[in-house]
Amino acid sequence: MGALSCIAFGDRIGRLRSIFLGLALSVVALALESSAYSLGQFIVGRLVIGGAIGIISVSIPIWQTECSTTKHRGMFVIVEGIFISAGIAMSEWISFGFAEAFQNSAQWRVTIVFPVWLAFFVIPVLFLMPESPRWLARKGRTEEARHIIAAVMDKDVDSHEVNAEMNHIEYTLESTQGSLSMLFKNTKERYFHRAIIAAMSQAMTQLCGCSAMIFYTSTTFADLGYTDIPGRFLSCGFTTTFTVFAFIPLFTIDRFGRRRLFMLSLSGLAVAMAVMAGTSNKPELAKVTVAFMFIFAAFYPLGFLGLPFLYAGEISGLRMRTPISAIAVSAQWLSQFVVAQVTPPGSANLKNRYWIIYAVLNAAFIPLIYLFFPETNGRSLEEMDQVFENSSIFSVVRHAKDLPRESQLDFVAVEEKYRPHTEFAEVTKISRNNQP
């Protein structure tokens, strides 16, 4: 619900204000939870923190995507994955430490309130950050957008590179439609098609079995014979492995592209799950199971920590970026809910065979990505509009591959190609020329 709420206000108040709202709600929620002495207060805190996380997980990737240059957009947004995994690892280590240090409610009160300092650190920094230039252009604040693009590109405000980018954004705003009802119609912009792909990429982050591994790691290690401190220590090491390997996409995302990392990651996850299914019921092979649990933790960050957030923002289009991203992120949280609910009865009744489900799903996702997920690497956000507008469900991958990349063209040519020619453009030009 927090993610979907961004559809109502995300494009109205902007990216940074949305992030601020999510962070402010998280502070309130953590205070409610950590100070709870009744179940009702604790439940309210859980509901508020859930809404806050939903808002944050939609707004931050959109802001990162829209403030990045085409060349380094993948690296910039994928940093989010590093901090997601670092947060998970930090929570495990803190929980481990406090479980041994206290024997009262401080075990959970301190660990719950601990993340407040992160929000207190980020909130004042937001006031120093630039708003998304694409959101500013959409609101008619083109001069501000131009200056931010110039700063991001490290170019002069009137350079050909900045003019080309601004012309491209204005051209997209003029030539595309954007009412929310268009999301559910088969129009030339293919917003519904994009929403399905974005939601699928986000759902895969959980349907691959990640949450089953993270939420119930201690239980899995206990079933293998690693109980108490050894089991907790292995759980901490498991989540730390996510963080270590989350650095690899920083150097590969803009070199090898999105599709290859998706498929490479899924291949490793499928093999890891298959081996776990075959060994986790045999005590003599417990070390093999543990090894492939860590292999799972190594392959998952390659394609599914920050990449789905990046991909959803890249394919969604300026006018529908917030609604499509909100739907995609909500698909992730709903998938996580399903996995969290079915894992206890699934593992209890199916034992080691439960992991076969995720091995099959991971293998099945690979051809889906190969056939239906277009490559976005090296393309501007506005270029992806052309990819979808000139293709069908079955040809979008081929069209994304064949369409000439504007990054390979001369900036002067791009500037002229997308030079605005409507009344809106003339008003924008007059407004800019009248600036002091």
H-helix or E-strand spanning residue 412: helix 411-417
- Residue 119: pLDDT band (50, 70, 90) is very high
Residue 238 lies in a domain: yes
Total number of domains constituting the chain: 1
Q: What is the mean pLDDT of residues 62-89?
A: 88
pLDDT at 419 over 70: no
Q: Using alpha carbons only, what angle is made at residue 133 by residues 127 and 138, rounded to the nearest 5 degrees?
A: 115
- Residue 416: pLDDT band (50, 70, 90) is low
- Amino acid in position 115: P
Phi, psi (deg, nearest 5) at residue 89: -65, -40
The pLDDT tens digits for 211-258 are 898 888 888 888 888 888 888 889 999 999 999 999 999 999 989 999
Nearest CA to 396 out of 369, 414, 378, 418 is that of 369
- Residue 382: pLDDT band (50, 70, 90) is confident
- Amino acid in position 243: T
Residue 418 lies in a domain: no
The rounded distance, in Å, linking the Cα atoms of 325 and 314 is 10
Q: How many CB atoms are closer than 10 A to CB 127? A: 8
Residue 405 lies in a domain: no
404 Cβ contact partners less than 8 Å away, ≥ 6 residues apart: none
The residue assigned the tokens 């290690």 is 221
Q: How many CB atoms are closer than 10 A to CB 118? A: 15
The pLDDT tens digits for 13-29 are 999 999 999 999 999 99
| CATH number of the domain to which 309 belongs | 1.20.1250.20
The rounded distance, in Å, linking the Cα atoms of 359 and 343 is 14
111 Cβ contact partners less than 8 Å away, ≥ 6 residues apart: 91, 94, 95, 98
Please give the residue that has the higher pLDDT: either 408 or 145.
145
Residue 428 lies in a domain: no
pLDDT at 265 over 60: yes
Confidence at residue 421, expressed as pLDDT on a 0 to 100 scale? 46
Residue 417 lies in a domain: no
Nearest CA to 322 out of 203, 145, 183, 170 is that of 183
Phi, psi (deg, nearest 5) at residue 305: -90, -60
Residue 207 lies in a domain: yes
Rg (CA), the chain: 23
38: left (phi over 0), alpha (psi -120 to 50) or beta: beta
> pTM score, two decimals?
0.86
Domain of 188, in residue numbers = 2-139+146-389
Q: What is the DSSP string of 65-82?
A: HHTS-TTTHHHHHHHHHH
The rounded distance, in Å, linking the Cα atoms of 228 and 217 is 13
Q: Burial code of 273-295, b = ≥16 C-beta within 10 A, e = fewer?
A: bbbbbbbbeeeeebeebbebbbb
Residue 406 lies in a domain: no
Residue 18 lies in a domain: yes
